[in-house]
Amino acid sequence: MKLKTLDETSKKVNQLLQGSKIIPDRLPNQVIDVAMQADVGKGMRNNSHPPQVAHVMNLTIESDKSKKSKSGKKSLQISLLRLRLAEVEFSDHLLNAKRGQIRNLMSKVKKLDSQYQAIQQELAIIEAQAAWRSSWYED
């Protein structure tokens, strides 16, 4: 669910950037969608390329003006916004620490809930046994 929201937000922001002429408006939305799905920077950073800025995906689009001549190639450099969950959640150290505390508290709550469920089940069994035993002595 979180990833879907980030993808939708990234797409809307890129459309706004395109509408503001920051990203060329002649670039079809399908190209942006394919680039977002490919997510070329995801987990594939090597030393031959400079590290990417968080949330920015750089693209180079080449087109042939004339298929006969190789000198007719034209390239277009584009930067798109690509929100990534790990970078959003953990780039702020204070937020990361608070999320760790919340995770610890949630694990304690889950443990207490499972203990509560076990006690509730045990209580139901004891009450059922007591009701069954009390039926023996009634005439």
The DSSP result for 14-59, as a single string, is: HHHHHHTTSS-TTS-HHHHHHHHHH-TTTT---TTSPPPPTTEEEE
* Confidence (pTM): 0.45
Biggest CA-to-CA distance, the chain: 106
* Per-residue confidence in pLDDT tens, the chain, 139 aa: 566 787 888 888 888 888 888 877 777 777 777 777 765 445 444 333 444 456 677 777 777 665 555 555 677 777 777 777 666 666 678 877 888 899 999 999 999 999 999 999 999 999 999 999 988 865 5
User: How is residue 114 written in tokens?
Assistant: 């499972």
CB of 54 closer than 8 Å to CB of 42: no
pLDDT of residue 44: 40
pLDDT of residue 7: 80
pLDDT of residue 87: 62
d(CA 17, CA 27): 12
